[in-house]
Structure 1
Amino acid sequence: MQNLPRKVRSKKLNSRVDLTAMVSVSFLLIIFFMVVGELSKPKSMGLSLPDKEGGCGESRGCIDSSRLYTILLDENDKIVTYSGLLPYNDEAPKRSEYGRNGIRKEIFIHKKSVDERMISVGKPKNSVIVIIKPTKSSNLKNLIDILDEMKINNIDTYAIVDQFTPEEEKLLASN
């Protein structure tokens, strides 16, 4: 018998591909884009505007003055509060002090009465609006304490204003 040339078979190489590195990179990219997407969302504060309904016209809104509660911060930890607008207010402004039985209780009582009144007129979302007016002689601690009281009493709408009406200046000068 003749020696026939044998066919040389090629060696089969391992055809498996290791995808571990690609999976790791894919997860890293997914996480990166999720974080970038979350951080690029605009952050903004809610803006409470007055109602457009009522007798004040269509173009500008009016706020019921009974919803307003003004806190005047004076020197030596003095607080003067009044509700509504000072020139048209029947009640005398009240002096108060910081703490649980002072301004916190006053804010709670006023908020409760405004909420009950707004529910009775069919506007349960309208709550008290607090205007905080620190004088130049008040200190930063007083302002921070009042802001803490806003958080404790769940006051959603408040503003810090640095301008005083002539009536408020007279009131502070008399105290």
Structure 2
Amino acid sequence: MSTKIDMTPMVDLAFLLLTFFMLTTTFAKPQTMEINMPVKDVPKEEQIVLKASNAMTIILGDNDRIFYYFGLGDPAENPELIETDYSDSGIRDVLRSPKVKNNDKMTVMIKPMDESRYKNVVDILDELRITDTKKYALVEITDNDKQLVETKIGQ
């Protein structure tokens, strides 16, 4: 006589265990970055004036290009626009440089051009987070900044 083993209860047990572990597992939670937005109606006398020595401007261009200069971009200052990339030896090294890190009042202004992508903004915000940059702001790009980029690209 042959023996026959009924595997039906074992399959039921396997599915019950599978269901239990699927329902009790913690799935990966989406990672979000908290951004504090400024108050809209701040009186002019309460606004803090930013000095050129405490400012760094990052311009996000098209085709994943990134430019930066130190200062506020006043045409009289004639800022030197430098092109870099998003690698760890690119903009990350600039943000970790002593000129940026040793200045507690340094504010990084991010100016995306119309041709830049949303991914570029997320990438630069990630770099600011990685380098532990405390003060930064998303700012609208000025005509002078656009002119600086066009001049740099034309070289």
TM-score of Structure 1 vs Structure 2, range by shorter chain: 0.5 to 0.7
Higher RCO (C-alpha 8 Å, min separation 6): 2
Residue pair 2:109, 2:136 contacting (<8 A) in 1 also = yes
Structure 2 match to 1:41: none
SS of equivalent residue, structure 1 residue 137: coil
Alignment partner for residue 106 of structure 2, among 115, 128, 150?
128
Whole-Å separation in 2 of the counterparts to 1:59 and 1:159: 18
Residue pair 1:78, 1:95 contacting (<8 A) in 2 also = yes
Structure 1 match to 2:4: none
Residue pair 1:69, 1:81 contacting (<8 A) in 2 also = yes
Alignment partner for residue 85 of structure 2, among 97, 101, 106?
97
TM-score (ref. length: structure 2)? 0.62
Structure 2 match to 1:160: 138
| CA apart distance, 1:108 | 1.1
Alignment partner for residue 78 of structure 1, among 65, 72, 80?
65
Structure-2 change in CA distance of 1:59 and 1:46 (3 Å): closer
| 1:172 equivalent in alignment to 2:149 | yes
Structure-2 change in CA distance of 1:133 and 1:61 (3 Å): closer
Kindly report the root-mean-square deviation, in angstroms, between the aligned alpha carbons of the 2 structures.
2.3
SS of equivalent residue, structure 1 residue 127: coil
Q: Is there any run of 5+ residues in structure 1 with no aligned partner, and where?
A: 1-43, 48-57, 119-125
List per-residue Cα deviations over 1:82-137 (Å, max 9, x = no partner): 0112224355111111110001001111xx32453x5xxxxxxx332011011111
Whole-Å separation in 2 of the counterparts to 1:99 and 1:79: 11
Higher CA-based Rg: 1
Give the alignment of 1:5-154 within 5 angstroms: 45=36, 61-86=48-73, 87-89=75-77, 91-109=79-97, 112-116=98-102, 118=103, 126-154=104-132
The one-letter code of the counterpart of 1:70 is T
The one-letter code of the counterpart of 2:68 is T
TM-score (ref. length: structure 1)? 0.56
Corresponding pairs, count: 111
Whole-Å separation in 1 of the counterparts to 2:136 and 2:63: 23
Residue pair 2:81, 2:149 contacting (<8 A) in 1 also = no
List per-residue Cα deviations over 1:4-61 (Å, max 9, x = no partner): xxxxxxxxxxxxxxxxxxxxxxxxxxxxxxxxxxxxxxxx9496xxxxxxxxxx7654
Q: Is there any run of 5+ residues in structure 2 with no aligned partner, and where?
A: 1-34, 39-44
| CA apart distance, 1:149 | 0.5
Residue pair 1:114, 1:127 contacting (<8 A) in 2 also = no
